[in-house]
Structure 1
Amino acid sequence: MSVFARFSPRLQEAIVARLGWTSLRPVQEQAGEALLAGKNAVVLAPTAGGKTEASIFPTLSTLMDNPADGVGALYIAPIKALLNNQSERLGTYTDMVGLRRFVWHGDTPSADRQRFVREPAELLMTTPESLEVMLVSQRVDTDKLFRNLRIVIVDEIHALAGTDRGAHLLSVVERLARVSQHDLQRIGLSATVGNPADILTWLQGTSRRESMIVDPPKQPSKRQLLISHRPTLPEIARDAARVAKGIKSLFFCQTRSMTEAVAEHMRSAGTNVFVHHSAVSREERQTAEEKFNKGSDACIVCTSTLELGIDVGDLDRVLQAEAPDTVSSFLQRMGRTGRRAGQAANTSFFCETAEGVLQAIALIELARAGWVEDITPQDRCWPVLIHQLLAMSLASDGVTFEDAWEQLQRVPDFRGIRRAEAERLVAWMLRDKSLLLLDGRLLLGPKAERRYGRRNFMELYAVFSSPQTYTVETTNQQPLGTLNQGFVDRLVEGVSCFLLSGRPWAVLAIRHDDRRIIVEPAPRGRQPTWGGMLPQFLGERLCAKVRVILAADDVPQYLTPEAANALALQRAAMSAFTDPGRGTIEVAEGELRWWTFAGGRINHTLRYALGALHDQWKVIPDNFLIKIRGEGISQRDLLEAIEQIAEPEFWENERLWQDIADTLPAYRLSKFQPLMPAWVERESLASYLLDLEGAARWLTGRVPSRTPDLGVPLPASLHRSGSRRRLRLRPRPRHQAASAGSPPRPTFWPCATPSGARRSSASTSRRRCTRASCA
């Protein structure tokens, strides 16, 4: 019997009569087979490949055959915009079979929520944060609302797995699993993920159902790719404006500042432009989506806010300034096109730098080889563990540690945390007044209440924290968007100008009491200096592919002549520095450069390894190389240091890596960091900044038998006693002089440089290099 024939008769009739379908797609056939059999599943298909219907049709059929008292199915999306975008579509599907759907997120009116609690819809569309609100709220009877919950659908699961929000999602799902009378069926949807089996294992959690990956063979399809190179942003915007003329396009930029600048230049060229990024007001973003959807000659200049499956209508072209950081992002963005019959999925890269050209080529070639980044599930997610302790202590009349631990150990993201460690954390939080203990139950403490208790504890419901922002509005109170505190601090009333929503604005007044900035239209102003604080890491595989491209001699057909010339110059400049193995050393004036092409986290880890041996050296890593400076430092010194850190014992030295972890910079990674004891904060920082296993594998060719546990310090008697073991030296220097008249070495952008900044010019000083010195 076909899958379609197994659907409820009313659903079959609606699919044919209301939707006009004559058949199901392969992904819908395979998913329907698995889901109707009650299996957990991860469903993979390209953007617009029918994943939503593949999950929702079997879900509706199940709810029709076995009606639920209360919520029967959850559809969870990572962002509100995707919920809003999907609400009409899923509403059509529920209406056509006599069921209901309800959308609950932060913008849903309170009266509508109360009505839903009294009369629940069969399908609830929401976010992890809104689910937390329901579980904590005294006004929601979660036992009654979710006792018949059967199915949980997680859209864009690749955007959640392996992150704090993913840990939060699984924590909430496992709490719902205790409420429900059923073993929750879990369904993840994604267009791009490299390790679906791991994601399925993570999503399955405590469910005892069988599981299946639904990944039908992909039909070969046309791809139109182009990489161009222009030396300035105005030239890029001018070229993009010509391409975008008369069609509908999305122009992805890597930073909000570039988004604003590109939009201004394109608008000056006569293009109908909308701006879409996280600092633009919700009203402005919705207006952009609506007008764009109805138009036929327009471009939305955006950041990753439109990378997920938000439907902005029929799209002709995807444009990209520079290159995204991952193959997954590239495929997600390209997948927004090619949906019409006869249309090819396409992406046009507009690169301001030669490095951007190389990165774009690497992304394309990795995608053509069928490679996508793996998502690494975590099992020691301390920030969300703290968050869940606070949330459970806030609900009802608190929670005993036994009940909390019984719930927490069900979550895959906490399974690496031992009970003794959790007890130690709770003891710290009690001393720190983040928690209180009353009659054996953990309650929210005064420190946590002061920090997260504003607006009825809204700050506690989400595991991520938006930065302190100021609302930007015109003199007639029209909202334009928001600015971060750090940027606002540099503004001067009556003097400063900035770009927002693609237009220049002059600052009239800054009102700190209610965090508002009053502006009026102004002549073109300077672009705002948006910037992140954390280093931005490229992956090892992507950086290694850049090395392979530099060492090759073929020229991809999708390069313009200018981009091909940029590639040729980079290859000539880097010809002496692309050996595989342990990389190549360049000896330049005032510094040594170790070209590893190992990626940001590995290079960052190697930096601390070298610094542990020579604390007088200044070691500066980026995604492709490590610069080493020091008084009188020689090539032999670096070779000896590399030999030392290449010893497997170096990576198993518990005390040494504990000392290194103590010196990590105090980046703010989580809103719950102020509640962390030092040992938890150190481990969280180390897990972001360091990759001990990856660095050891890259350097030694094997994974160490064990890597230090940076979360649990050794006893003080062992931690500080004795001196550091100095590993034996076995230098193997090899030399080769650089050819005379070789072109200047290109400068790869350090990972800690704010996105969108201009690269420094390449240094031309090079005395000699060491080829394959560490191979």
Structure 2
Amino acid sequence: MAGVTGLDEAVEFHIINSLGWSGLRPLQAAAVGPVRSGDDCVLVAPTAGGKTEAAVFPLLSRMTEQQWSGTTVLYLAPLRALLNNLHPRIESYGAWLGRTVGLWHGDVGPTERRRILAERPDILLTTPESIEAMLVSRRFDRERFFSSVQSVVIDELHSFASSDRGWHLLAVLERVERFAGRKLQRIGLSATVGNPEAVGTWMQGSTVGGRPARVVRDTVSDAGEPDVTLDYVGSMVNAATVISRLHRGEKRLVFLESRRRAEELTFLLRERGVETFVSHSSLSASERRRSEQAFAEGRNTVIVATSTLELGVDIGDLDRVIQIDAPRTVSAFLQRLGRTGRRPGASRNMLFLAIDLHGLLQAAAVLLLWKRGFVEDVVAPRNPRHLAAQQLLALALQEKAFGASRWREWWGDLAVLDEAEAILTHLRSAGFLVEDSGLLMIGPRAEREFGKQHFMELLSSFIADLELRVVAGTQEIGFVSPLALPRNDNRERKPLTLAGRAWFVRHVDWSRFTVWVEEVSAKGDVKWPSDAIAYSFDLCRAQRDVLLGALPAVTISQRAMEAAPQLRARYAAEVHRDALVLARRPVGGSRLWTWAGLKANATLLAGLGLDSSGAENESLILPEGVGPLDIRTADVHAVPRLDKESVTALKFSVALPEELAARTLGERLADPAGATDVVRMPLIRLDT
């Protein structure tokens, strides 16, 4: 029976008496009807906006009303840490009604997995990769386990939708629906995005048995204007000094854009006597949990993090969020800003500390876009042909063999499989699949390329860099790239920095991919491989606007105001108010300062018949003989050309024809709209 909130009376009772809430938040109240009715929904709210409860409370009500049994709800998230964090909370909600909640991912041991299989939980928290592993495992009863699934919750939907993990997720859900025998209700939880309706349609997957997706937004309008300050400190050492002295007695969360910088800042803060914790993807799970728990329980503390703490992991109430330099998108800024202002009477706030002039430019540009009301659209990567190959191979593992003409039954008209027929032809001719009496099964080439560790590499859509496990005594600290190891020469070895501490490398066991270390007090260093960052056209043009005099309407410190003329003087020869700058290079050729983003610049180079190696976010390098007229007539719809080494960054590219794999990656690098803008703008030529 429904209560006044529209939820089951028992759920409503516990919201009031167990949680002590006086009522539902606006988003939660608005979501009750759509979720209980079985509609596909996208629930949009800032971080800590109550999105999990907005989905789970109506699903528990529906579960009771319709007497669901077995595992009826799959709750998917992109990070194991987020699932670990959510598990006790959702488990407590399920217990109100005598319902069980299980957790299944790569860190969950065999004992717990056996218990889940024997006593199927009503709600299972997991990842798409874990579901893929279940589907292909011959020891897993797929029909029994997935036949009862009714609904799926996709947490951090925007994170999935912007990467190949989203395409993989959709393809896996289509296969689950085949075992369930029904179209599953899909509920996406998302931070603020520019195009939630389009993301909702994408989330629905194939159109077979489809229904409209409803967008439910957080309607809170009295949150107040956030307190955002832009400051310039000039170095990481100065940033550490400012943070150590500012807002003492408060809980501060500091975001950086790289693991290396996070480690450096953590070490510097600890040197200054600040209780500091660190969280990033290359720390061991136990190390991250210890940091996050200690931070959640403390007061006068700092936690330094990369984007791992952007995606909703609960670390308690925060007083301050600090950003070193700038996030890469407005959406990420909003996600991080939403970490604050959760307590009654508290306000949202963020302090930007730029450690160099380029960081000041990036921060000012992000804030300028935000004040203009801009938020990026979430767009799924184009043409996921490599995932079509992966799915066809996964189906062969799952079914042992499948009919060469019946594969479409598993995915309907899902866009992932749009070109599957041609890809299937290649998989057969290259020996990835072999045919016997009209049935296709795993071939010798697939065994050779993906067969290690029970086809483990075939189960996930992202490439994991080779990392070595770092162990001190019996304690696992985390993981580092081989690039971080000290060189074997006669010079003094520099310690590693990991988990905010310095470690002397005692021994490297390459057979076990393990580095044995002991802690020391000297400052060390650490590095991981990194790819070029592709900034958007809008962000790069906002940087140009800043260089031409625009500043965001936020609080700007005196130091930042004094640094702004230095910033503009540094880039004075690279911007012009009425045109783009084409500058002669001393070594030959020229550089075109487009301020259009890496993708638009790569597209323009392709349109000139050149490879994309000369493309950067702000500019592109042109060889001798290429002038303004050539730029005006460039083919803005050309596909950037990439070398063979670049194509290996596309997971499963080996299962595609070489030319098709290169085209797939090139099409993803293309920005015809940005390139069109470049060729239409006036040019001025400077000879230097």
TM-score range, shorter chain: over 0.9
Query: Structure 1 counterpart of 2:503, which letter?
Result: W
Alpha-carbon shift at residue 310 of structure 1 (Å):
0.2
| 2:40 is equivalent to residue 40 of structure 1 | yes
Which of 377, 383, 386 lines up with 1:383 in the alignment? 386
Q: Is residue 358 from structure 1 mapped to residue 381 from structure 2 by the alignment? A: no
The reply to whether residue 666 of structure 1 matches residue 660 of structure 2 is no
Deviation of 1:488 (Å):
4.0
Correspondence for 1:644? 633
How far apart are the structure 1 equivalents of 2:6 and 2:130?
34
Moved more, 135-144 or 314-323: 135-144
Q: Deviations over 1:479-528 (max 9, x none)?
A: 11111234448566983522111112111111111111111223424422
Q: Report the counterpart of residue 76 of structure 2 in structure 1.
A: 76
Task: Give distance in 2, aligned partners of 1:495 and 1:359.
Answer: 35
Spell out the pairing of 1:115-514 with structure 2 (5 A cutoff): 115-205=115-205, 206=207, 207-219=209-221, 220-243=223-246, 245-378=248-381, 380-414=383-417, 417-418=418-419, 422-474=420-472, 476-488=473-485, 490=487, 495-514=493-512
* Separation in 2, partners of 1:428, 1:244: 61
Distance 1:599 1:443, change over 3 A: same
Contact 1:555 1:564 in 2 (8 A): no
Alpha carbons of structure 1 residues 668 and 535: separation in structure 2 relative to 1, 3 Å? farther
Is the CA contact 1:193–1:372 (under 8 Å) kept in the aligned structure 2? Answer: yes
Residues 1:559 and 2:590 are matched in the alignment:
no
Q: Which residue among 588, 591, 594 is the counterpart of 1:593?
A: 591
**After superposition, where does 1:45-124 map in structure 2 within 5 Å?**
45-124=45-124
CA 313–170 in structure 1, closer or farther in 2 if over 3 Å, else same: same
Residue 87 (structure 1) shift = 0.5
Would you say the 8 A contact 1:149–1:181 is kept in 2?
no
Q: Which residue of 1 aligns with 2:619?
A: 625
User: Do the aligned residues in 2 keep the contact of 1:238 with 1:266 (CA within 8 Å)?
Assistant: yes
**Partner of 1:372: helix, strand, or coil?**
coil
* 1:239 to partner: Cα distance: 1.2
Structure-1 separation of matches of 2:498 and 2:257: 16
1:49, 1:557 → 2: CA distance? Answer: 24
Instruction: State how far apart, in whole Å, the 2-side matches of 1:105 and 1:734 are.
Output: 56
Change (3 A) 1:521 1:491: farther
Q: Which amino acid aligns with 1:567?
A: A
Partner of 1:691: 671
Determine if contact 2:41/2:216 at 8 Å carries over to the other structure: yes
The CA distance in 2 between the partners of 1:4 and 1:700, in whole Å, is 59
Instruction: Name whichever of 493-502 and 13-22 sits farther off.
Output: 493-502
Structure 1 position 577, deviation (Å): 4.9
Query: Pairwise CA RMSD of aligned residues?
Result: 2.6
Task: State the AA in 2 paired with 1:184.
Answer: L
- Where 1:395 maps in the other structure, the secondary structure is helix
AA aligned to 2:39 is K
Say if 2:325 and 2:360, in contact at 8 Å, map to a contact too.
yes
The residue type paired with residue 96 of structure 2 is: M
Once the 2 structures are TM-superposed, how far is the Cα of residue 675 of structure 1 from its aligned partner? 2.4
Counterpart CA distance in 1 for 2:615 and 2:213 is 42
Preserved contact between residue 510 and residue 517 of structure 1 (Cα < 8 Å):
yes
Number of residues of Structure 1 aligned to a counterpart in Structure 2: 683
Task: Report the CA distance shift for 1:408/1:581 in structure 2 as closer, same or farther (over 3 A).
Answer: farther
User: Compared with structure 1, are the counterparts of its residues 555 and 445 closer, same or farther at alpha carbon in structure 2 (3 Å cutoff)?
Assistant: closer
Distance 1:8 1:526, change over 3 A: closer
SS of equivalent to 1:402: coil
The question of whether the paired residues in 2 share the 8 Å contact of 1:3 and 1:29 is answered with no
Deviation string for 1:240-286 (max 9, x for gaps)?
22225322111111111111111111111111111211111111111
Whole-angstrom distance in 2 between the partners of 1:553 and 1:469: 43
Cα separation, 1, equivalents of 2:613 and 2:655:
32
Question: Structure 1: which 5+ runs fail to align?
Answer: 702-731, 736-765, 769-775
Paired with 2:512 and 2:387, the residues of 1 have a C-alpha distance of 30
1-structure distance, mates of 2:673, 2:644: 18
The structure-2 alpha-carbon separation of the partners of 1:32 and 1:412, relative to structure 1 and needing over 3 Å to count, comes to: farther
1:570 is matched with: 567
User: The residue matched to 1:661 in structure 2 has which SS?
Assistant: coil
Cα deviation, residue 399, structure 1: 1.6
Letter in 2 for 1:215: R
Q: Which runs of 5+ in 2 are unaligned?
A: none
Distance 1:101 1:692, change over 3 A: same
Q: 1:497 to 1:629 in 2, by over 3 A?
A: farther
Q: In the alignment, does 2:12 pair up with 1:12? A: yes
Deviation (angstroms), 1:446: 2.4
1:26-57 CA distances to partner (integer Å, 9 max, x unpaired)?
A: 11121112222221111111111111111111
From the CA coordinates, give the structure whose radius of gyration is larger. 1
Residues 662/26 of structure 1: CA separation in 2 closer, same or farther (3 Å cut): closer
- Residues 707-745 of structure 1 deviation map (CA, whole Å, 9 limit, x = unaligned): xxxxxxxxxxxxxxxxxxxxxxxxx8767xxxxxxxxxx
Match of 2:662 among 667, 682, 694: 682
Q: After superposing the two structures, state which structure 1 stretch, 572-581 or 679-688, moved more.
A: 572-581
Assess, with a 3 A threshold, how the Cα gap between structure 1 residues 487 and 385 changes in structure 2: closer, same or farther.
farther
